[in-house]
Amino acid sequence: MASTASQGAARAAVQELIQPWTRACLSRDWDGLLSMCTSDIVFMPHGSPPISGSAVRPWLDSFPTIKAMSWDVKSVEAAGDLAFVSGTVQQTLEIDGKYCDLFRREADGRWRFAVIIWNDNRA
């Protein structure tokens, strides 16, 4: 089992990705956003099948423009090379919802988004 110190370092590293992720979403910098993701990233949006592989980039290109985005992190948990974050998210594209993201530490030591799940609060 990971030490409390290494769990704390993992939590901090994962939380440091939230602001760059938000900036990439707001600027539609999909290359920057995807650089924070594992090569096998899976997006799991509400009301849609999972998005992965070669379907990710076209899906991002067609995603509605996000004018504002804020996160309320409720939980960050880490165990070994996996971590997940959950909480609530608000975006100006008419989504007021919740999320749970899975992160994986890659061979280079960097934490990256591996699975992104969200839905709106009406669901």
Which letter, b or e, does each residue of 73-89 get, where b requires 16 or more Cβ atoms within 10 Å of its Cβ? eeebebeeeebbbeeeb
* CATH of range 4-120; options 3.40.50.720, 3.90.1150.10, 1.10.10.10, 3.10.450.50: 3.10.450.50
Per residue in 61-105, pLDDT (tens digit) is 988 888 899 988 888 888 889 888 888 888 776 566 788 889 999
Q: What is the DSSP letter of 99?
A: E
pLDDT the model gives residue 94 = 57
Long-range contacts of 99-102 (CB under 8 A, 24+ apart): 99/71
Domain extents for the chain?
Answer: 4-120
pTM metric for this prediction: 0.75
The string of DSSP letters for 21-35 reads HHHHHHHT-HHHHHH
Per residue in 43-54, pLDDT (tens digit) is 988 788 899 999
